[in-house]
Amino acid sequence: MIALRSGATILPMAHWGGEKFGKNLRSLKRTDFHVKVGQPFRLQVEEMVTIILRDKEYEVRSGMTLLSALKKIDILPEAVIATRGGELIEEDEILREGETIKLVAVISGG
């Protein structure tokens, strides 16, 4: 979480061999220690998609279909129509990074 928030570079390292130290000591053997250093990397924040229905806002991962996103936030697809920038979109539409999808409730009026 610290690396994610600070954006710091992560250097992956591993060591092994030490677990045999006690056993080797009893039989007066040397113990080899191993250290491996991997490639440095940074954690990237995955771009989210904002979904708005009336006064509620939800966030889902980008790259999923509208249908999957609606299932994830527990909204019945039958009960809403989704719009992207005023255009109607259908359930198989892939949601893009950083965009906002506005849902219009089907039931309205008196």
Partner 1 sequence: MKCRTCGKKASVNMRQHKLALCKEHYLEWLPAQVERFIQKYRMFAHDEKILVAVSGGKDSLSLWDILHYLGYQADGLYICLGIDSSTSLGASGGADYSAESQRLAEQFAAGHGLKLHIVNVQEQTGKTIPEWAEASLRGRGKPCSVCGLVKRHVMNRIARDLGYDVLATGHNLDDEAAVLFGNTLTWSGEYLLRQGPVLPATSGLARKVKPLFRLYEREMLAYALLRGIEYIYDECPFALGSTSIYYKELLNKLENDRPGAKLAFYLSFLEARKKGLFAEQEQVQQELHPCPNCGQPTSAPGLCSFCRMVKH
Contacting positions for partner 1 (CB under 8 A): 76-79, 81, 83, 87-92, 104-110
CB-wise, 8 or 81, nearer to partner 1?
A: 81
Please, are residues 100 and 62 in contact by the beta-carbon 8 Å criterion? no
CB-wise, 46 or 92, nearer to partner 1?
A: 92
CB-wise, 50 or 83, nearer to partner 1?
A: 83
Q: Length of the chain, please?
A: 110
Number of other residues whose CB lies within 10 A of the CB of residue 55: 5
With vertex at residue 54, the alpha carbon angle to CA 50 and CA 59, rounded to the nearest 5 degrees, is: 20
The distance of closest approach from Cβ of residue 48 to partner 1 in the complex, given in angstroms and rounded to an integer, is 24
Three-state SS at 35: strand
The distance of closest approach from Cβ of residue 109 to partner 1 in the complex, given in angstroms and rounded to an integer, is 3
